[in-house]
């Protein structure tokens, strides 16, 4: 489900905020995920925590780990993608693209396993740009399975916000299990989780 209400309408995570509200304000989204990305999402119930978490994320102080199933298997076991990104607008549609004078975007990646000619890859975001993993995976030559914008778009998108950790005075971390449509592939690559 989308994190926030979109132009198409329909249910979103923010629709449930009134049920979680204590007092007159909040909760708030501390960050966002693409609509078809499963996994960890940070919601702040207090304004002070929201500001602290957002400042930490803006300073690249939060640990953000994603898993994706990619078309094909990248050459090598691991690497870093340092490819700046910019929004490209074409008519009424937009997408992100690797552009020399775009905003800096850095992603670490490593292959966790392969099965049937595709790979399970872990991505660690060093910056937090829109669609960063999806664009960087396509830039590697191996788009995320199911990605309708940067890949073939067949089936559900196979991207998971696997782990989110914030090194605050009282540390916060969460790890998400693979969603049902990714679980069999993850198990084939890693065994039982």
What is the pLDDT, as a whole number, of residue 87? Answer: 97
Per-residue 3-state assignment (H helix, E strand, C coil) for 43-92: EECCHHHHHHHHHHHHCCCCEEEEEEEECCCCCCCEEEEECCEEEEEECC
Q: What is the mean pLDDT of the chain?
A: 91
Q: Token pair for residue 156?
A: 């559900």
Q: Tell me the per-residue pLDDT of 111-152, one tens digit each, with 9 for 90 and over.
A: 999 999 999 999 999 998 999 999 999 999 999 999 999 998
Is residue 128 within 8 A of residue 57, CB to CB? The reply is yes
Q: Is residue 42 over pLDDT 80?
A: yes
Q: Which residues are catalytic?
A: 34
Q: Is residue 22 over pLDDT 80?
A: no
Range with the lowest mean pLDDT among 45-59, 111-125, 139-153, 163-177?
A: 45-59
Rounded to two decimals, the pTM is 0.90
Catalogue all structural domains in the chain, each as residue range(s) with its CATH number: 61-190 (3.30.2350.10)
Q: Is residue 97 over pLDDT 80?
A: yes
What is the pLDDT, as a whole number, of residue 30? Answer: 87
Q: Token pair for residue 152?
A: 């073939």
Q: How confident is the model at residue 193 (pLDDT cuts 50, 70, 90)?
A: low
What is the pLDDT, as a whole number, of residue 152? Answer: 84
- What's the CA gap between 140 and 74, in Å, rounded? 7
Range with the lowest mean pLDDT among 5-14, 27-36, 119-128, 181-190?
A: 5-14
Is residue 88 within 8 A of residue 95, CB to CB? The reply is yes
Q: Are strands 38-39 and 28-29 parallel, antiparallel or unpaired?
A: unpaired
Q: Tell me the per-residue pLDDT of 77-93, one tens digit each, with 9 for 90 and over.
A: 999 999 999 999 999 89
């Amino acid at each position: 489900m989308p994190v926030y209400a979109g132009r198409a309408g329909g249910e979103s995570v923010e629709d449930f905020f009134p049920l979680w509200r204590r007092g007159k304000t909040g909760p708030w989204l501390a960050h966002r995920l693409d609509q078809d990305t499963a996994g960890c999402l940070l919601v702040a119930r207090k304004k002070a925590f929201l500001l602290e978490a957002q400042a930490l994320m803006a300073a690249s102080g939060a640990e953000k780990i994603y898993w994706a199933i990619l078309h094909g298997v990248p050459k090598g076991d691991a690497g870093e993608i340092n490819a700046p990104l910019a929004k490209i607008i074409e008519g009424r549609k937009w997408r992100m693209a690797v552009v020399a004078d775009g905003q800096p975007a850095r992603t670490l990646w490593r292959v966790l396993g392969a099965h049937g000619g595709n790979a399970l890859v872990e991505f660690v975001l060093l910056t937090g740009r829109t669609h960063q993993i999806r664009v960087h995976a396509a830039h590697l030559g191996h788009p995320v399975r199911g990605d309708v914008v940067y890949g073939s778009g067949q089936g559900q998108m196979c991207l998971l916000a696997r782990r989110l950790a914030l090194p605050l005075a009282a540390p916060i971390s969460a790890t998400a299990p693979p969603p049902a449509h990714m679980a069999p592939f993850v198990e084939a690559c890693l065994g039982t989780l």
